Amino acid sequence: MKNVFLLAGALLVAAPQAGAQVTSDEAEIRRTRTESNQAIARHDVPAVLATMVEDFHVSISTGAFRSSRAEMGEAFATRFKEFEDALYVRTPTTVEISSAGPVASEIGEWVGSWTTAEGPFRTGGRYVAYWKKVEGKWLIHAELYVPLFCEGEGC
């Protein structure tokens, strides 16, 4: 239940500012990010992966790289199996659609949390996502996660 409240709060923060003009592309990217956050909260790996291109790339918070959607799926499945309350929430602060092609940039804040044998663990910071429009649908091409805080045993 705690995960639901955390996710609901993050989704309220992720909503565009009142009065701000949002393009349909930006709205789709924000909606897809919300869907990805919700899939993570449900530990629904196939739904998380559905938001990514096949050749997805990521630099995770440890600095390690994952080089495919399949590899990222294995990482999520392992984390979810190890920690039944594992949660990651990405909250976009800006989404910018390129005028040079079907790509976009998303910048935001992220938080990861779960409970270890030693107690609660929480980390987070900033992220950047590179989106591509593929066959009319916005998908995540690459992400970079930079940890700016860590709380709990193992930091």
Per-residue pLDDT tens digits for 45-69: 999 999 999 999 999 999 999 999 9
Q: Give the pLDDT confidence of 99-133 residue by residue, as tens digits.
A: 999 999 999 999 999 999 999 999 999 999 999 99
Calpha distance 97→71 (Å, rounded): 27
Whole-prediction pTM value?
Answer: 0.84
Q: Please compute Rg for the chain using Cα positions.
A: 15
Residue 141: per-residue pLDDT: 98
Residue 2 binned pLDDT confidence (cut-offs 50, 70, 90) = very low
Look up the CATH number of domain 2-151: 3.10.450.50
